[in-house]
Structure 1
């Protein structure tokens, strides 16, 4: 009979293509913090800061990791924002971004979605980011 072993709890998560951490699906802050800790290089610190801004902008925000990406929402089972690691940037998805003013800068094939790309040398406009997060948190979330 083959011996099975548990994964090494100290092992780093696998990074998927583009560098996105492979984190098991989970709800609450713990899986999001695990994703942040596993994000490669500068992306970990950048999203740690964004996560803190989101928490302050939307008190009681709900968090989850699904499809290896952190999601943020207000109501049970719906989400207003998600983030994903790509090789050169963090892709912040505002699921109802077409309703935000001003519009986040990057369009999508999906009519309601708008993106913010955060690159390593970008100076994040925290006031604008927080404003978008507050607006997004007041809109109906996307069921996923």
Structure 2
């Protein structure tokens, strides 16, 4: 019997660091309830918007990058929402709605039952994928 990954505080799955599709699939599979549906949809939208997207899981969060130059976006689960972090979010137009302690980062928080503005999200993903990535 395969043991399910531990959930950290806030309900984020604890997934070993890894690169490629497999660790991101493991993250999605371990994400509980309504958050899994959101993460699955976000992953599909990101993959559709940036067909050659690079994926990894680091610090228990999926990361997405457009080249070897770094990462443009991450996902993370909290008790009441899923956080989409755009590392160069202040360069996006319009900017994602939630500010960060990090100067250039902006967030989008998605709550249970809330519709995703898919056109806006895909536009932000496309913009973000063209900017210099964050090295992590």
Classify the TM-score, shorter chain: over 0.9
Deviation at 1:109, TM superposition (A): 1.1
Deviation at 1:53, TM superposition (A): 0.5
Q: Contact 2:98 / 2:108 at 8 angstroms: preserved in 1?
A: yes
TM norm structure 1: 0.92
Larger Rg: 1
| Number of matched pairs | 136
* CA distance in structure 2 between the aligned counterparts of 1:77 and 1:130, rounded to whole angstroms: 21
Runs of at least 4 residues of structure 1 off by over 3 A? none
Matches within 5 A, 1:10-89: 10-76=2-68, 78-89=70-81
TM norm structure 2: 0.98
Partner of 1:113: 105
Deviation at 1:78, TM superposition (A): 0.8
Deviation at 1:77, TM superposition (A): 5.4
Deviation at 1:121, TM superposition (A): 1.7
SS at 2:107's partner residue?
Answer: strand
Structure 1: where are the runs of 5+ without partners? 1-7
